[in-house]
Structure 1
C-alpha cells in the first residue's frame, strides 16, 4: 500500500529483457533509505519488489502480467521514474490509498501552464469513466492527484510547481502514456452495490 506522495524521481540505469519478463536497475537516493531485500517500491505507480540493491541503485523484475498492464515495456535507460516506498502502519497518510496495482494506461491530451501552476489533461480510458469523479482521487504514474474537472472523454488535474519538479510530470507531453490507478474505494463500492 502506498499514498501517492512520490519521494523522488529515480533514473533507469539498466534494462535487461528476457523471455520471462524484464529487469530494471534504477538509481535512487531517498527510496533506498533502510531498504531491504523483498521491499516494495512503487515505480511509476506499479508496486515492484526489490531483488538486489546497493547504496546507489536497486533492481526489480517485471513479469509478463506487469508488462501487459503498464508501459514499463517501453522504458529505456536514462528515463525518469517516480519512486515511493510502501506505507508504514505508523506513517501519516498525506495522499490517498494507492495499491500500486496499475489499472490501465492512458494518454496525455494537453499540458497548459496557468500562472505558476499547470493543468494536465488526460483521456478517460474506455470502461473507467465511472471511477473518475470531480474532486475525486486518482493515481497517475503513482502520484496521488485530485480530479479538477471531468469532461465527457477527458479529465484534468491541477499540478503545483513542487509536484511537477519532484516527479516525472515535467517530462510528459501530449501523446505520452501514463499509468492510471483509480480509487480502490470506488471499485469496492461498485462491487458491493452490484451484489
Structure 2
C-alpha cells in the first residue's frame, strides 16, 4: 500500500524488453533506502517488485498486462518517474490509500497556468468516469490529488481537473506534463468497492424478479 506522497523523482537508466515483459532499472537513491529484494516500490503509480537493488537504484520486472494498462511501456532511458516506497504500519497517511494497481490511463486535455499553480484537465474513459467524484481522491502517476472539477454526466467527453500547488509541480513529474501526454490513473478504492457492491446488488435484484416472475407464471399454468 502507498499514500500517494512522492518521495523522489527517479530516472530510468535501462529498459530491457521481451515479447511479453520488460525489465526497468531506475536510479533513485532515496527510494531504495532500506529496500530489500521483493519489496514494493511505486513507479509512477504502478506497484513493482524489486528484483535487484544497489545504493543508487533498483531493477524491477513489468508484466505484459501492466504494460498494456499503464504508461510504463513508453518509458525509455532518461525518462523521469515518480517513486514511493510502500507505506509502513504506523506511518501518517498524508495522501489517501493507493494500491499501485492502475485502472487505466488518461490524457492531458489542457493546462491552465496560474501565478504559482496550474490546473490540469484529464480525459476519463467511460469505465472510470463513474468512479471519479468532485472533491474525491485520485492518484495520477502515483500522486495523491483531490479532484477540483468534473464533467457533467451528459457530456460526450468525460474529464476531470486537479489543481497543482508549487510543491507538487516541483517534487513530481506532473510539473512537466503537456497537452497530449498520457498518465496513469488509479481511482479511489472505496469508490471501486461501492461500484462492485451496487453491481452485484443489481444482479441479485434482477435474479429475484426473474425467479418471482417464473414462479408466478408456473402457478397460473
TM-score normalised by structure 2 residue count: 0.86
Give the Cα–Cα distance (whole angstroms) in 2 for the partners of residues 162 and 9 of structure 1: 13
Q: Could you tell me which residue of structure 1 aligns to residue 191 of structure 2? A: 186
Given the alignment, which residue of 161, 164, 169 partners 2:169? Answer: 164
Give the Cα–Cα distance (whole angstroms) in 2 for the partners of residues 140 and 134 of structure 1: 15
Q: Which runs of 5+ in 2 are unaligned?
A: 153-157, 202-221
TM-score normalised by structure 1 residue count: 0.97
Larger relative strand fraction: 1
Query: Which segments of structure 1 move beyond 3 Å, counting only runs of 4 or more?
Result: none
Larger relative helix fraction: 2
Deviations 1:113-171 (A, max 9, x none): 12211111101112111111110000000000000000142111000011110101122
Q: Which runs of 5+ in 1 are unaligned?
A: none
Higher relative contact order (CA 8 A, sep 6+): 1
Aligned pair count?
A: 195
Q: Could you tell me which residue of structure 2 aligns to residue 8 of structure 1? A: 8
- Structure 2 residue matching 1:22: 3-state secondary structure: strand
- Structure 1 residue matching 2:168: 3-state secondary structure: helix
Give the Cα–Cα distance (whole angstroms) in 2 for the partners of residues 149 and 23 of structure 1: 37
Give the Cα–Cα distance (whole angstroms) in 1 for the partners of residues 29 and 56 of structure 2: 7
| Offset at residue 20 of structure 1 (A) | 3.4
Q: Could you tell me which residue of structure 1 aligns to residue 116 of structure 2? A: 116
RMSD between aligned residues: 0.9
